[in-house]
Amino acid sequence: MTRSRLGTLLAVVVVLSGCYHATIETGLPPGNQTLEKPWASSWIYGLVPPQTVETASRCPNGVARVETQQSFVNGLVGLITFGIYTPMTIVVTCAGPDPMDEADQKAVSIRLDANIEEKQHAFHDAAMLAARHGVPVLLKFE
């Protein structure tokens, strides 16, 4: 076998052995719970994506990170099917609890039957409190 053919074959093997991996971070702090879908079915080289991973009920604080990857075995299956069936692994990391603890959380309460002036005053107080402390302020209608 000539050197150029051996070099080309080696380059093809290296390229084909690579694994696809993408990570999306939302900026929320990661929690301990992860949801994994090891054989998410996509079709035609990923043009038809896999079904959505339902996280709303299982991640009450939202999603911190989504990772999609194609392992060597996933890629091998895609190669065998000529790219018609291209599975991938999806790992979703749920967000942890709000990092701001209860002591730092600010709140302004207002009656449900308050008149317009009282509501404006409450909104003003909440805005001033948020600006002063640099934290979100909860406006409670009680």
The tens digit of pLDDT for each residue in 27-67 reads 888 988 999 998 988 898 878 888 888 888 888 888 999 99
Please state, in angstroms and rounded to a whole number, the distance separating the CA atoms of residues 109 and 139. 6
Please state, in angstroms and rounded to a whole number, the distance separating the CA atoms of residues 84 and 60. 36
CA dihedral 127→131→134→135, nearest 10 degrees, is -10
- Helix, strand or coil, per DSSP, at residue 101: coil
Record the pTM. 0.57
Hey, what are 109's tokens? Answer: 């309460």
Domain parsing of the chain, residue ranges = 17-95, 106-141
Which one, of 111, 101, 106, 99, lies nearest residue 131 by Cα? 106
Indicate the pLDDT class of residue 85, thresholds 50, 70 and 90: very high
Q: Please work out, in degrees rounded to the nearest 5, the angle formed at the alpha carbon of residue 81 by the alpha carbons of 70 and 89.
A: 20
Sequence letter at residue 32: N
